[in-house]
């Protein structure tokens, strides 16, 4: 048996689960529900609670960077726990095009804009803008079709059961 933590309200003919509910299911059934959207395995550690930093400014103090914050000293402005975004300037043309081949439209636009705003934009990348964006739109559509199938789309008026 495995325990899942419900993330979204889920209901069926003989059950109804609310967000936060813990539900015991057979391992195979729990794996089906624990997709990260509807539920997650409860034995996974929940997010750590946010504890106040004693060195943080008081609630009424103006917000400013800590004097020893290396990111602010370098002008980066990014925290070490922020996700690292793909930067085309750090890669050759082949690697950028391979990355863009699997990207969605929003990410492709972001990367292409960075490349176009570069001091010396590379023609091998910006010259393929149209085809890159077409592939990115197709990637988004394929992702949406997969998500729709996962949600039970296209099965008529039948209640989804799993």
pTM over 0.85: no
How do the pLDDT tens digits run along the chain, 162 residues long? 888 888 888 888 888 888 888 888 888 888 888 887 888 888 655 555 656 666 655 555 555 544 555 444 444 455 556 678 899 999 999 999 999 998 889 999 999 999 999 999 999 998 999 999 999 898 888 877 777 766 655 555 666 566
Cα–Cα distance, 159 to 13 (Å, whole number): 8
Domain spans in the chain, listed from the N-terminal domain onward: 2-41, 84-150
Cα–Cα distance, 63 to 149 (Å, whole number): 46
């Amino acid at each position: 048996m495995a325990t899942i933590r419900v993330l979204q309200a889920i209901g069926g003919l003989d059950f109804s689960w609310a967000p936060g509910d813990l539900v015991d299911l057979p391992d195979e059934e729990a794996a089906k529900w624990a997709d990260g959207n509807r539920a997650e395995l409860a034995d996974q550690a929940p997010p750590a609670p946010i504890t106040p930093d004693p060195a943080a400014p008081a609630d009424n103090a103006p917000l400013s960077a800590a004097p020893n914050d290396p990111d602010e000293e370098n002008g980066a402005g990014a925290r070490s726990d922020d996700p690292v975004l793909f930067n085309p300037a750090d890669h050759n043309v082949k690697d950028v095009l391979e990355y863009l081949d699997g990207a969605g439209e929003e990410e492709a636009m972001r990367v292409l804009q960075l490349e176009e705003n570069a001091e010396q934009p590379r023609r091998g990348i910006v010259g393929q803008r149209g085809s890159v964006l077409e592939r990115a739109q197709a990637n988004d559509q394929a992702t949406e079709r997969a998500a729709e199938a996962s949600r039970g789309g296209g099965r008529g008026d039948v209640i989804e059961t799993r």
